[in-house]
Amino acid sequence: MTFDGGNGLISSARAHFVLVPMMAQGHTIPMTDMARLLAEHGAQVSFITTPGNASRLAGFATDVETAGLAVRLVELRFPSAEFGLPDGCENIDMIQSMGLFVNFMEACAALREPLMAHLREQQPSPPSCIISDMMHWWTGDIARELHIPRLTFTGFCGFSSLVRHILSQNNLLENITHENELITIPGFPTQLELPKAKLPGSLTIPGMDKIGKKMIEEELKCDGEILNSFQELETLYIESFEQVRRKKVWTIGPMCLCHRDSNTMALRGNNSSMDEAQCLRWLDSMKTGSVIFVSFGSLAATTPQQLVELGLGLEASKKPFIWVIKAGAKFPEVEEWLADGFQERVKNRCMIIRGWAPQVMILWHQAIGGFVTHCGWNSTIEGICAGMPMITWPHFAEQFLNEKLVVDVLKTGLEVGVKGVTQWGNEQQEVMVTRNAVETAVCTLMGEGEAAEELRMRAKDYAIKARRAFGEEGSSYNNVRLLIQEMGKKTNACG
Ligand code: UDP
């Protein structure tokens, strides 16, 4: 018999979840939160990774160990060389050209045998359930062989998940040749229309067709879906998604709320590229709600021209800001431009972070009053939890849908007005947002006008709702418990 972390008796065998995240920051990070969350609620977790990714997860590993949580990191050797990838290329953010994406996906699929072998050894505590990133379609075979349920995690919110489902079920993108052709999403509960290029799935990666089909097939076969969202945020879309999927959709988010202190927040995803204490000191010295935080996630590669335009817009706004820049070695001209007067001109009100920022730690600091985001779902939900009004600046994938949710449904953000898509791996030289647009958006959001006040009020309200959903007896809290109970029962029935 085991107890669920002191909260009561759950079952005679502890539910054992196997988490298989895609190796990309935006996919792995929420799954580290998921691992922590499941373990805090009394489950046992095996977290599948590779040696190269495990080094980024060192902070997470220490953190769960210190907290005494039943989370085990399982390292499987990643067959980079066998699939024509450079040695050590074990994460999507390390892929140097789009031509290697399929190689990467095939190398992932080759983890099937070693993972199967590992899971077969897990006696007498066999896994109860696999929670797999949708991109790891091959985990479907493992779940069937072991006779255990497989739940899918896409990392999307309910709104975007529903659009993605409708698009794929109706093959809506297939016969449309023009990138700018408007597509109305049929059967969506509210009116929604976007050009093809701004919809997920519009990016054509050589050789990905077959793999994409397998991903969708396996998703349709899976036993349920996990969403990093909460019922009260997007009820209509979550319910519609559950109806069309005809399977249980478990909303257990916002999972980032499992972090309660700045130490664990700072360890999220990777080692920060700056001293966190110094960052906190700087933030402590700023007025409440005065600083705007600008960050475009882990993959979006903003071009040098666009970065300069953004920097000049921030300068012209005269507001304090933290700007995360990932151009690094890829665009040395950005560094030259920063050093050539820009940094000097803004030095009293700006902090530039080159590389990895402790994003949640920053967002949740009282000095931050607004967030310029690329609308990756993790960043968006982290912003929602922080009660942040946002300036939306989507680049690619489902980010344009998340923008619609934030701006049109939640009404907690305003669009900066990007002209087009900055496709991952195929960045154009074109400037999508002018310095004037940046200045106007920042001044509006951080200003005292009525519209900004309303955005701030609504944003605060959603942050409260998020905490209620995640907190004891909230909708997400109850869902985590039910999920563990349900999977625990299956373990007992099998055992
Ligand atoms: N992130 C971070 N520091 C950075 C960049 C990103 O902590 O410098 C985290 C961010 O908090 C979020 C994740 O990385 O949890 C990025 O996921 P998201 O879905 O927002 O965007 P993606 O990187 O997948 O485009």
The string of pLDDT tens digits covering residues 130-161 is: 999 999 999 999 999 999 999 999 999 999 99
pLDDT for the residue 18: 98
User: What residue ranges do the domains of the chain occupy?
Assistant: 16-258+472-494, 271-467
Residue 138 CA to ligand 1 center (angstroms) comes to: 26
Residue 355 CA: nearest ligand 1 atom is 8
> Degrees (nearest 5) of the Cα angle 135, 139, 144?
145
Query: What digits encode the pLDDT tens for the residues 80-126?
Result: 999 999 999 999 999 988 889 999 999 999 999 999 999 998 876 78
pLDDT in tens, 328-345: 778 899 999 999 999 999
Per-range mean pLDDT, top range of 74-83, 206-215, 329-338: 74-83
Q: Atom 11, ligand 1: which residue's CA is nearest? A: 359
Going by their DSSP bridges, the two strands 193-195 and 182-184 should be labelled as antiparallel
Q: Please tell me the distance between residue 262's alpha carbon and the centre of ligand 1 in angstroms.
A: 17
Minimal-distance CA residue to ligand 1 atom 24 = 26
Most informative mutation of 293, 378, 395, 421 for ligand 1 (most atoms within 8 A of CB): 378
CB 143 within 8 A of CB 130: yes
Cα separation, 76 vs 423, in Å, equals: 31
Question: Ligand 1: which of 379, 381, 395, 406 to mutate, judged by most atoms within 8 Å of the beta carbon?
Answer: 379
User: What residues contact 173, with CB distance under 8 A and at least 6 apart?
Assistant: 167, 183, 196, 199, 201, 202
- pLDDT (average), residues 372-395: 98
Q: Give residues (CB < 6 A) around ligand 1.
A: 25-26, 29, 268-269, 295, 297-300, 324, 356-357, 359-360, 376-379, 382
Distance 402 CA to ligand 1 centre (A): 14
Q: Residue 67: what pLDDT?
A: 94
Instruction: Grade residue 427 by pLDDT with cuts at 50, 70 and 90.
Output: low
In this prediction, residue 262 carries a pLDDT of: 75
The pLDDT assigned to 330 comes to 80
Residue 265's alpha-carbon distances to 274, 388, 400, in angstroms, are 14, 17, 27
Could you tell me if 44 and 158 are in contact, meaning their C-beta atoms sit under 8 angstroms apart?
no
Measured by CA distance, the residue closest to atom 15 of ligand 1 is 378
CB atoms within 10 A of CB 486: 16
268 CA from centroid of ligand 1 (Å): 9
Give the H/E segment covering residue 227.
strand 224-227
Neighbours of 482 (CB within 10 A): 13
Please choose, from the candidates 251, 15, 205, the residue with its C-alpha nearest in 3D space to the C-alpha of residue 104.
Answer: 205
Residue position matching structure tokens 């939900």: 381
Query: Which residue among 298, 380, 384, 423 has the greatest number of ligand 1 atoms within 8 angstroms of its CB, and so is best to mutate?
Result: 298
Residue range 170-200, pLDDT digits in tens: 999 888 888 889 999 999 999 999 999 999 9
Give the list of residues 6+ apart from residue 402 with CB closer than 8 angstroms, or none: 157, 159, 160, 375, 376, 377, 380, 392, 394
Decide yes or no: CATH 3.40.50.2000 for domain 271-467: yes
SS3 letters across 393-407: CCCCCCHHHHHHHHH
Nearest CA to ligand 1 atom 5: 297
249: tokens are 């959709």
Whose alpha carbon is nearest atom 2 of ligand 1?
359
User: Are 394 and 400 in contact, with CB atoms under 8 Å apart?
Assistant: yes
- Where does 16-258+472-494 sit in CATH, by number? 3.40.50.2000
